[in-house]
Amino acid sequence: MIAHINNLGEKQSVKDHLEGTAELAKMFAEEFDCGEIAYYCGILHDIGKCSDEFQKRICDPEHVKKVDHSTAGALEAMKEGNIPVAMAAAGHHSGLMDGGNYNLSMEGDGTFFGRIKKQVPNYSKWKEDITFKNVPLPLFCSKGTKFTMSFFIRMLYSCLVDADYLDTERFMNGGKENRGNYSSINRICSSFDNYINGWLHKTDFTCKDQEELCKRRNFILKNCLEKGKKLNRGLYTLTVPTGGGKTTASLGFALKHMKNNDMRRVIYVIPYTSIIDQNAEVFRDILGDENVLEHHSGISYERTEDQAENFDTYQKALATENWDMPVIVTTAVQFFESLFASKSSKCRKLHNIANSVIIFDEAQTLPMPYLEPCIAAISELVQNYKSTVILCTATQPALDGIFRKYGFHGEIQEICDSVEELYQKFKRTKISNSGVLSFLELSQKIKEKEQVLCIVNKRKTAQELYTNVNKEGTYCLTTLLYPAGRKQQIQEIRYRLDKGMPCRVIATSLVEAGVDLDFPEVYRQETGLDSLIQAAGRCNREGKRKVEDSNVYLYKIDGENNSFNSQNVDALFETLRFYEDPTDLKAITHYFMLYRGLLGKENLDQKKIMDAWERGIDGRLFPFSTVSEKFHLIETQTNTIYIPVDEGESLIGKIYDGQMNRELLRKLGQYSVNIFPDHFKRLVEYGCLEMVSNAIYVLRDMNQYRKDIGLQMDVETGFGFYI
């Protein structure tokens, strides 16, 4: 019985493929103590290839139609009552289907229970060479909720799919192994230790306050390193004031923790694509490019035919498929949408999340409309898949109650010692409420300052305010600037701040996380408490000024409607009624509890994802495919516009020449702007765009783009949108 034939004409038997896949699946699932059932799944998945019809097909693919070879393994598993193995086997090519209803589902209706009612070619010859034994479900699965069962099915499916791909890939490559060329954990930890050594022994301070700030950051860093060496797997918070160096400290904890607990990788989950590249760059500088994979919608790697031409890129392309690298830097969108996906391409990497250290940077930004499904998934990873999760932020969102609701019964431990004392020591600003300001009054205040940051809620407001200020040394930072241009502006801003030159920055919230800027004063348009505290983190960041001279002003623009974040603002002002200091840890907890109360429980799972698992959808149990279609953290889809400037112009020229590939698009991402559909429609209507290839749009009317403010919101009509 033949499973595959490679380009050299060599044949792989079904028996060899099943056993090879089963061994790999077992190895993957042993990371969460489920190796035997994964082996059983691997043995069954392709027994349908033992039919005469499939054997004819593989020997003459041009003249013999395709044969269903996936259902047979599901049928055998169902004889033993093993639904998880059956669903994984049935979907190992097409994806996990909705389960359906055992009594009502019909053949051809697209459900799993409908699928196993179909007639398949006789595959009984598999019994001549292949033996197996049924394996019971893990105890946590059989005693858990339907969500726990569904999560296990998806993890089992991930083990099977990745094992199937890898065994097939190895055979097709003539037995060559092209993956796994990265450093050992000892070497990675050594690289990190070498990097931080300079910080821990720094002596060249410009003032006493700067020295004190460095000592506090080092206290946090050392604390994280010590805890990483001795704490067991679990659910942790890392509560660090803004400017406390939490990115490096959290990575240090994760590396030491990974080594101490014999774990496999660190997964760093970041909320915004606007800051992910700089974090990934820092990690690459510390740990080596070959050990860090950056994976999100704005980056891709091409699997070129000539591996030797760019082997590093080829290795990264392979690693994006299954996250087989020591350090993964990804987005919340990529992470959570994969955990609720149904297609093999997205699910393949999931088993490598098990037995990993997962850091959620800016944990307060976990998406409210999907908060309960996200917390339920995190609980499963910690409870049943040997992962450690760290909720890392300056403003902990008080999630204990939701974790308890979804099965986490352990202790949520804080990593950093003396958090309240640290917050007092890191207090570097004075926050006050400036009330309502007219647009002209706000403009005048910015004009009067030599160095100031003003954060607004809308991109259009930022552009208008910048135009109104119109003074030398003024900048406008929004996502309407292409990333490479934005980076250049940030470099200029840092230079001006460092040299004491005039520097007025008008920005949206993109500067509030991961952008290290240090202003003497900050204005923040009314927002939630978490954003206000993040904005304050851009003021007196290095502790060079007195607290009383470092002012953060909360303000409202007269006549501007902020209905899109009204619950945030209401919760903030209600909190300020009870707490004089909004940065007080108790105030932060009060704010988040109040904010979620104003949203209402129904808005913490708007698509009723958790209800879908427990009750089914329209009578269909295990609705994998339907949930996958519902689960999208970013509801409003944007359109990408490429800007033909600097290197972007030559890259776009290559697309015209027919040279487009994923690596080219990855580079071109640095010259792109994402806009909402209505803005896109206007640009199309006014002939500003050109479609060059497969829905790839290039800005052709360069009057619509300015290097100082980016893509203009006014497309002759004055119509604009916020982000």
Return the pLDDT at 344.
Answer: 94
Rounded to an integer, the average pLDDT of 57-76 is: 92
Quote the tokens at residue 526: 């009314």
Please tell me the predicted confidence (pLDDT) of residue 717: 37
- What's the CATH number of domain 428-582, 3.40.1440.10, 3.40.50.360, 3.40.50.300, 3.90.280.10? 3.40.50.300
Residue 448's CB is within 10 A of a number of other CB atoms, namely 10
Pick the more confident residue, 669 or 236: 236
Residue 720 pLDDT greater than 60, yes or no: no
Residue 505 reports pLDDT greater than 80: yes
Asked if residue 105 has pLDDT above 50, the reply is yes
Average pLDDT rounded to a whole number, residues 323-339: 93
Mean pLDDT throughout 226-244? 95
DSSP string for residues in 79-135 = HTT-HHHHHHHHTTTT-PPEEE-TTT--TTSSBHHHHTTS-----GGGGGT------
Q: 722 pLDDT exceeds 80? A: no
pLDDT score, position 205:
58
> Which CA distances in Å does 268 have to 276, 292, 296, 326, 566?
10, 10, 12, 11, 31
Arithmetic mean of pLDDT over the chain: 90
The reported pLDDT for the residue numbered 298 is 56
Work out the average pLDDT over 276-298.
82
**E-state strands within 539-655:** 551-557, 621-623, 639-642
Q: What is the pLDDT of residues 636-679, one digit of tens each?
A: 678 899 999 999 999 999 888 888 777 788 788 889 999 988 89
Checking if the pLDDT of 718 tops 60, the result is no
Question: Where, residue-wise, is CATH 3.40.50.300 in the chain?
Answer: 223-420, 428-582
User: Is pLDDT above 90 for 123?
Assistant: yes
Nearest-CA neighbor of 228 among 377, 8, 416, 460?
Answer: 416
pLDDT of residue 108: 87
**pLDDT of 274 strictly over 90:** no
* Structural domain 223-420, CATH architecture: 3-Layer(aba) Sandwich (3.40)
Confidence of residue 715 (pLDDT cuts 50, 70, 90): low
Q: What is the pLDDT of residue 53?
A: 95
Identity of the highest mean pLDDT range in 288-302, 496-510, 661-675: 496-510
23-37, 392-406, 416-430: least confident range: 416-430
Residue 716's pLDDT is 47
pLDDT at 656: 85
- pLDDT value at position 309? 46
CA distance 563 to 434: 20
Which residue would you say has higher pLDDT here, 363 or 723? 363
Q: For residue 543, which amino acid is it?
A: G
680-693 average pLDDT score: 90
Q: What is the helix (H) or strand (E) element at residue 265, kind and residue range?
A: strand 265-270
Least Cα distance to 318 among 185, 182, 180 occurs for 180
- Gap between the Cα atoms of 624 and 237, Å rounded: 31
Q: Which residue has the higher pLDDT, 721 or 229?
A: 229
pLDDT at 177 over 90: no
Q: How many CB atoms lie within 10 A of CB 617?
A: 16
d(CA 366, CA 424): 26
Highest average pLDDT, of 103-107, 160-164, 648-652, comes from 160-164
pLDDT for res 226: 96
Instruction: Indicate if the alpha-carbon torsion angle 455, 457, 463, 467 is positive or negative.
Output: negative
Give the pLDDT score at 313: 61
CB count within 10 Å of CB 718 equals: 8
**What does the pLDDT look like over 542-571, one tens digit per residue?**
888 899 999 999 999 998 876 667 899 999
Q: Two tokens at 29? A: 């699932």
Which of 270, 348, 369 is closest to 632 using CA atoms?
369
pLDDT tens track for 463-491:
999 999 988 999 999 999 998 999 899 99
The confidence score (pLDDT) of residue 619 equals: 80
Query: Which residue in 556, 387, 551 sits closest to 457, CA to CA?
Result: 556
Say which residue, 134 or 609, is predicted with more confidence: 609
Instruction: Tell me how crowded residue 437 is: count the other CB atoms within 10 A of its CB.
Output: 18
As a whole number, mean pLDDT of residues 234-257 equals 94
Model pLDDT, residue 315 = 64
Q: What is the CB-side half-sphere exposure of residue 679 using CA atoms within 13 A? A: 24
Q: Give the burial class of 179: count Cβ atoms within 10 A of its Cβ; 0-12 exposed, 13-18 middle, 19 or more buried.
A: middle
